Structure 1
Amino acid sequence: MGIFGRVHAWRAAIFVMSLAWFAPVADVHAGTLLSPGSAALVRSSAEPFGLFAAVLTYGGLREKWLDVERKLDDERVQLALCDGDRDRCVSPAALQLLAIVDNARAREGRARLGELNRAINLAIRPMSDLAQYGQIDVWSSPLVTFAHGAGDCEDYAIAKFVALRLAGIAADDLRIVVLRDTVSGDDHAVTAARQDGRWLMLDNRRMAMIEDAYMRNTQPLFVIDQHGVMQYADRPVLADLRASSPAPLVALNFTN
């Protein structure tokens, strides 16, 4: 290794150590996303957007997700019971979600992801938490969302996260990602699913799926997986720097 290689290696090592030392990165300024709390650095280039992520050990967002997880534990039991004996299932919301999962199971690969993305987008009406609950930033579990027939972006994302797992997608290949629109400043949640080594974004705002590498005007903030919540420690703005190369949308069962 030449002198320049050693200099670059030392710079990289110092950068990683500095991230670990200053682990509690900046709070999110939007009122709908609470401060993350402390974090422990994890090398995770396999995450959506290929960025490092830091595990949140406490904080408002982590507590919010833990509350959702407790509800999901109960709902998974109900969904399993209904899946085993649908004639005696007393939850219309569970039956509706399972029907969507059935249709997705009948497909393979990207078609499975696209079928489920489209079906859940059509099953839930977009509605803000303030309009529905009189509160800001309420995260609902899937059966609650389906019972109401309405929700906002994180409700779609949570429902898809659970439904994709039921449809046979491995837990290691599923994420919920919280993003910031760098033009409007709004925060937005999507489901991410890995297919053939590539992360596809399942978004309630579009019927087509798009790879993370082609997201425009987006800043990744947080990522949630089966183990908990992580904050991106290295969060570049994904501006429209590659406009000459069109994004390869994966349009499956697209409707207007």
Structure 2
Amino acid sequence: MKLSLLNNQLRTLYCTGLLLLILLAVAAARADLNALLKLAQQRYDTTGVENISQWLNLIDSQSSAQENEKLLYVNDFFNQRIVFTTDQAIWQRSDYWATPIETMGRQQGDCEDFSIAKYVSLLKLGVDVDKLRLTYVKAKISGVGTQAHMVLAYYPTPDSEPLILDNLSTEIMRATQRPDLIPIFSFNSAGLWVAGDKSNKTQKPETRLSRWRDVLTRMQAEGL
């Protein structure tokens, strides 16, 4: 009898503790949300703040969606809201990698900014980092010629053909459907790969890519 009572008490304590942890996690998430919105309101106009608010709603509402749906939601979100603009026009610099908050707040970005924003968004939605790679390519653009470009590649499995999320296309396509793109190298938060190199990935890409290290530092400061 006493043992049964003790077990019941332990179960009650366990459930109470678990509920407390959940409530603390929810409170922390709300605090982060409020901090991001406050930061947006300090920096950007009404449209920029609304973009960031809608993005936060997307992350919250689609966390349980299928991964292919997450790709579509994220690709459409940024391709429809962000206007392609050069770094020189936005930042008066030849090359600047913006954080997702900066891109959404200013409603402008170049190919790196689109790709980084989609990468971070999918990570926030629970997609495994090993499935995502920011990929530098040579892009053959009609009327322009070949130029450096960045896309986001999604690998359903380690050995599968990647799907390409690109600000130049509203459609997500397999890599073989994009003969206009010639891969050069790719990276994520865990490693760096050189196209055609079958060896293992190079660890800590931030030590090789100063702009990647810089944008990671700024994202951390923003609360991402």
2:102 maps to 1:144: yes
Q: How many residues are aligned here? A: 156
CA distance in 2, matches of 1:124, 1:81: 31
Which amino acid in the other structure matches residue 199 of structure 1? Answer: P
Query: Which residue in the other structure is 2:78 paired with?
Result: 120
Asked whether 1:173 is paired with 2:121, we answer no
Per-residue deviation, 1:115 = 1.1
The 8 Å contact of residues 103 and 115 in structure 1, kept in 2 or not, is answered as: no
**TM-score, normalised on structure 2?**
0.61
Q: How big is each residue's C-alpha offset from its partner over 1:61-106, in whole Å with a ceiling of 9 and x where there is no partner?
A: xxxxxxxxxxxxxxxxxxx988433456413355343223234425
RMSD: 2.6
1:138–1:219 Cα change, 3 Å: same
Structure number having the greater helix percentage = 2
1:111 aligns with 2:80: no
1:222 deviates by 1.5
CA contact (8 A) 1:104 1:116 kept: no
Letter in 2 for 1:185: T
Go from structure 1 to structure 2 and tell me whether the alpha carbon gap of 1:102 and 1:147 turns closer, same or farther (over 3 Å shift): same
> Once the two structures are aligned, what percentage of the paired residues are identical?
25
Matching residue of 2:181: 218
Equivalent residue for 2:151, pick from 190, 206, 211: 190
Checking the alignment, whether the CA contact within 8 Å between 1:110 and 1:195 is kept in structure 2 is no
State the distance in 1 between where 2:28 and 2:84 align: 26
- Of structures 1 and 2, the larger Rg is shown by 2
Deviation at 1:118, TM superposition (A): 0.4
Q: Distance in 1 between matches of 2:110 and 2:117?
A: 11
Counterpart mapping for 1:37-186 below 5 A: 83-85=29-31, 86=33, 89-92=37-40, 94-182=52-140, 184-186=145-147
Matched residue, 2:11 = none
Larger RCO, structures 1/2 (Cα 8 Å, 6+ apart): 1
Does the aligned pair in 2 maintain the 1:100–1:120 contact within 8 Å? no
**1:192-207 matches, cutoff 5 A:** 192-195=153-156, 197-207=160-170
- State the TM-score, normalizing by the size of structure 1: 0.54
Q: Are the aligned partners of 1:179 and 1:187 in contact in 2 as well (CA < 8 Å)?
A: yes
Matches of 2:105 and 2:34, distance apart in 1: 18
Check 1:209–1:177 CA distance in 2 against 1; reply closer, same or farther (3 A cut): same
8 Å Cα contact 2:100/2:116 also seen in 1: yes
- Equivalent residue of 1:147, what SS? helix
Structure 1 CA distance, aligned partners of 2:133 and 2:28? 25
Residue 81 and residue 206 in structure 1: after superposition, are their counterparts in 2 closer, same or farther (change >3 A)? Answer: farther
Contact 2:184 2:194 in 1 (8 A): yes
Partner deviation per Cα, 1:88-132 (whole Å, 9 max, x = no partner): 641335534322323442521312211111011122111111111
- The aligned counterpart of 1:243 is none
Aligned twin of 1:231: 194
Conserved in 2, the CA contact under 8 Å of 1:101 and 1:167? yes
Specify the SS of the correspondent of 2:89. Answer: helix
1:39 equivalent in structure 2: none
